[in-house]
Amino acid sequence: MCGFHKWISFMQYDPTWRQHRKAIHQQMGTKKTAAQFNDAQDMETRRLLVRLTEDPKGLFQHIRSEAAAIILRVTYGYAINPHEPDPLMLLIDTMMDNFSKAFVPACWVVDSIPLLRFLPSWLPGMSFKTTAADWLRINHQANDVPYAFVQQQMQKGTHRPSYVSQQIEQSTRDGTLAMDRDVEDTIKWTASVMYGGGSDTTAAVISAFFQAMVMFPDVQAKAQREIDTVVGSSRLPELQDQDQLPYVSAVVKEALRWFPITPMGVSHVNEEEIEYAGFTIPKGSIIMPATWWFQNDPQVHANPSSFEPERFMAPRNEPDPAQTIFGHGRRVCPGRFLADMSLFLTLSRVLAVLDVRKAVDKSGQPIDAKLQFQPGMISRPAEFPFYIAVRSPSHARLVQDVASLLPKEAGDDTLLDLVTR
């Protein structure tokens, strides 16, 4: 009813699903193809550092802006407004908030009694129909507006390379932007699901990382020592440093495990009868992966509530959370390589130049940051008290140098006005 059934995560396995999956996989389904977007990740992680040094109290908004900026540039070649709330980012964030609410278990009676959707909306208890219609309108707007933006920029020859522009180029052979309606729908809906899978989830993991650094300062100090030894203080960590930063890489893995962003994963349907642990699971059953438990099973991960990157290093060598966090089987997240690179760059660079500590109250006493969850299909940590400072004068100079080299580009939000006018 809301339109989310057109996202690949919730489609049945059929030719349309395969077409959507192929489109995404061709652009970012491997490390090599995902690497084409490294420049966007590099620039936006640098911008995050500058924002955090200038306005550390705006941490949560800065995290959302960084995650949104990366995925919007990757998907649409769109630059968000660097100074004011961006209208496209706000529109798609509204869609993602609706998405999270739509999939709260047992929240909507129509999910249990589907026939209710055929009753008139004026009947008592039918308010879900008005909500669904409003959310469907927002979904279509979030699909159509950025797609039209890319089309407009391509017609002018001013577009930035992106997922959508490459898909359009591959789908048009006669020099025009006209194409089959089904192909156009594939591009639109795969683009919007990329935002959902790449922005909200990444922002949630980064927020959880900051809270972990507040709660587990020894982890932060150990990671910083590794960065200081390998990278030094005259430059920022790069993706090429990842193999030489095993502890920092383990911090990224632990951030994914410690705060599972999709606690119940995405539902699957088994294509044949399964015998498991003495139970018979009939063909066609809906199976929900217990992602939270996979990361918190004490027989798999010792002391699961503790943030311990060492668990992924010798001699412990606990299972990599990527095996379950990013989904299962044919529905595994196609953007997992892009996400891994974004998380490594963001977390390693924050650790390189910033100290994240407990906030203090008026009497100078530290304030504990308790890990609390916001409910929804995509779980987010609730906001928490913190204190952020640049590590040293040399690190402050490094951030100043980074700021001076950032391109002084304006956002593309004014161009959206032309599209939606």
**Would you list which residues are annotated within the binding site for heme?**
333
Task: Name beta bridge partners: 281.
Answer: 274
Question: 283: which 2 tokens?
Answer: 């063909």
d(CA 371, CA 57): 19
Q: Locate tokens 């004068």: which residue? A: 393
- Centre a 10 Å sphere on the Cβ of residue 330 and count the other Cβ atoms it contains: 10
Q: How far, in whole angstroms, is CA 214 from its chain's centroid?
A: 22
- Which amino acid, 306? S
Question: With DSSP H G I counted as helix, E B as strand and the rest as coil, what are the percentages for the chain, rounded to 5?
Answer: 60, 5, 35
Assign residue 403 a region (left: φ > 0; alpha: ψ between -120 and 50; beta: otherwise). Answer: alpha
Contact 200, 68 (CB under 8 A): no
Task: Name beta bridge partners: 280.
Answer: 275
Annotated binding site: which residue ranges?
A: 333
d(CA 308, CA 202): 20
Q: How far, in whole angstroms, is CA 376 from its chain's centroid?
A: 15
d(CA 159, CA 76): 9
Closest CA to 394 of 352, 356, 364: 352
| Ramachandran angles phi, psi of 414, nearest 5° | -70, -30
| Ramachandran angles phi, psi of 281, nearest 5° | -105, 110
